[in-house]
Amino acid sequence: MQSSLKGNNGPRYRHTAQSGEPYQTIRIDKLTPIIGAEIAGIDLAKPLSEQQEAEIHRALAENLVIFFRDQHLTCQQHLDFGRRFGDLHIHPAAPSEPGIPELMIIHADRESPRANGEGWHTDVSCDAEPPMGSILYIRTCPPHGGDTLFASMYAAYDALSERMKTYLAGMQARHESEHVYRGMFANFGVADKPSYPSAEHPVVRTHPVTGKKALYVNRGFTRNLIGVPSDESDGMLRYLYEHVENPLFQCRFRWRASSIAFWDNRCVQHRAMWDYWPHTRTGNRVTVAGDRPY
- Per CB under 6 A, the list member of 116, 125, 218, 233 interacting with ligand SIN is 116
Q: Residue number with the shortest CB distance to ligand SIN?
A: 117
Exactly one of 31, 60, 136, 204 binds ligand SIN (CB under 6 A); that residue is 136
Regarding 122 and contact with ligand SIN (CB under 6 A), the answer is no
Smallest gap, in angstroms, from Cβ of residue 116 to ligand SIN?
Answer: 4
Cα 283 from chain centroid (whole Å) = 16
Out of 52, 63, 125, 148, point to the residue binding ligand SIN (CB under 6 A). Answer: 148
Cβ within 8 Å of residue 281, ≥6 positions away: 106, 107, 108, 109, 115, 138, 140, 141, 142, 146, 255
| Residue 52 or 134 having the CB closest to ligand SIN | 134
CB atoms within 10 A of CB 9: 6
Among 243, 270, 271, 281, the active-site one is: 270
153 closest CA partner among 192, 219, 204 = 204
- Residues 222-281 interacting with ligand SIN (rule: CB under 6 A): 270, 272
Alpha-carbon distance 209 to 266, whole Å?
10
Least separation in angstroms between residue 253's CB and ligand SIN is 8
Shortest reach from residue 9's CB to ligand SIN, in Å = 38
Residue 169 three-state SS: coil
- What burial class does residue 120 get, using C-beta atoms within 10 Å of its C-beta: 0-12 exposed, 13-18 middle, 19+ buried? middle
CA distance 229 to 138: 43
CB of 146 to ligand SIN, least distance (A): 7
Q: Is 83 a catalytic residue?
A: no
Residue 14, C-beta contacts closer than 8 angstroms, at least 6 positions apart: none
Amino acid letter, residue 22? P
Assess whether 175 carries a catalytic annotation: no
Catalytic residue among 123, 127, 158, 264: 123
Instruction: Return d(Cα 103, Cα 80) in angstroms, integer.
Output: 11
Residue 179 annotated among the catalytic residues of the structure: no
- Residues touching ligand SIN, count (CB under 6 A): 9
Active-site residue numbers? 121, 123, 270, 285
Residues that bind ligand SIN (CB under 6 A): 106, 116-117, 134, 136, 148, 270, 272, 285
